[in-house]
């Protein structure tokens, strides 16, 4: 399906990003997966997929540092010669109520989740414009729509991705580049595993389907948005949340 295409997936070596990398690689794309600190997980994923005949490269770099974003994009261009798809998936949480949240807690989360998507987009955008085609998918969250106790920084960053997506979609609408946002609900990854069990139990009790989502259930929506046939979908938001927010 994606033979000849190149995808760059930030945070592409663990959790939801790993599922996206895997699905795209199995669909024939060459995939560059970014990571920040988890070298072992990155190498393990690359090894697994390479053994299956996929072409996957891994790139260390912090999305909240524009110089890292540019270096990663340069590495991918050197390795694969083009970038068709950018998936801005890297994200973190630092959960505290606003009363306890420090300025640093706020900035760290906004820097990775929102500024990081902006910085990585800037690093690939001119290349996509030159080629007159590209696909950008930003991974937001249901929390960006609903807010959540203890997640003001995270909710603000994820809400910001809706604004970034829609503005960029407008700016790129006549340049062959689509920009969409995917907002998962609660998905089984290490990020969710870090939540206290009692909180998790109460979250699941509020999900109409009474279960967490799986990373591959998010990946398949991303894959759909990247397909050639999805070229008329831009500025759109897709939710995947078991009915949590309708």
For 205, phi then psi, to 5°, come to -65, -25
Write the Ramachandran bin of 14: left for phi over 0, alpha for psi from -120 to 50, otherwise beta.
beta
**Least Å distance between CB 3 and ligand NDP?**
26
User: In whole angstroms, how close is the CB of 144 to ligand NDP at the nearest point?
Assistant: 8
In the bound state with ligand NDP, the residue whose beta carbon lies nearer, of 29 and 137, is: 137
Positive or negative, the Cα torsion across 34, 154, 123, 163? Answer: positive
Positions in the binding site for ligand NDP (CB under 6 A)? 10-11, 13-17, 34-38, 41, 62-64, 89-92, 112, 139, 141, 184, 186-187, 189-192
- Distance from CA of residue 17 to its chain's centroid? 6
Residue 238 is among the residues annotated as catalytic for this protein: no
Query: C-beta of 128: minimal distance to ligand NDP in Å?
Result: 20
The smaller minimum CB distance to ligand NDP, of residues 13 and 180, is found at 13
- Choice between 84 and 111, CB closer to ligand NDP: 111
Q: Which is nearer to ligand NDP, 133 or 146 (CB)?
A: 146
Catalogue the E-assigned strands of 93-204. Answer: 134-139, 177-184
Q: What is the DSSP letter of 213?
A: B
Choosing from 35, 154, 232, 238, the catalytic residue is 154
> Residue 42's closest CA among 15, 14, 77?
14
Rounded to an integer, what distance in angstroms lies between the CA atom of residue 29 and that of residue 27?
Answer: 6
To ligand NDP, the closest distance from the beta carbon of 224 in angstroms equals 17
Q: From the centroid of its chain, how far is CA 20? A: 9
User: Nearest Cα to 30, choosing from 60, 9, 51?
Assistant: 9
Residues annotated as catalytic are: 154
């Amino acid at each position: 399906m994606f033979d000849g295409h190149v995808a760059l997936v930030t945070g592409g070596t663990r959790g939801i990003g790993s599922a996206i990398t895997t699905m795209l690689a199995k669909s024939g794309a060459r995939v560059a997966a970014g990571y920040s600190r988890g070298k072992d997980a990155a190498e393990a994923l690359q090894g697994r997929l390479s053994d299956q005949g996929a072409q996957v490269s891994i790139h260390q770099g912090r999305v909240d540092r524009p110089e890292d974003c540019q270096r990663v994009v340069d590495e991918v261009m050197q390795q694969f010669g083009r970038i068709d798809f950018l998936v801005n998936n890297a994200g973190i949480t630092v959960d505290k109520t606003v009363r306890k949240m420090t300025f640093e807690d706020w900035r760290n989360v906004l820097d990775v989740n929102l500024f990081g998507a902006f910085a990585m987009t800037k690093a690939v955008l001119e290349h996509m414009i030159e080629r007159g085609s590209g696909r950008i998918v930003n991974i937001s969250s249901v929390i960006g729509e609903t807010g959540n106790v203890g997640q003001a920084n995270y909710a603000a960053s994820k809400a910001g991705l809706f604004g970034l997506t829609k503005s960029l979609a407008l700016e790129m609408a006549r340049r062959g580049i689509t920009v969409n946002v995917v907002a998962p609900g609660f998905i089984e990854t290490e990020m969710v595993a870090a939540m206290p069990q009692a909180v998790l139990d109460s979250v699941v009790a509020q999900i109409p389907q009474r279960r967490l989502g799986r990373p591959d259930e998010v990946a398949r929506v991303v894959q759909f948005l990247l397909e050639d046939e999805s070229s008329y979908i831009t500025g759109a938001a897709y939710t995947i949340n078991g009915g949590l927010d309708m």
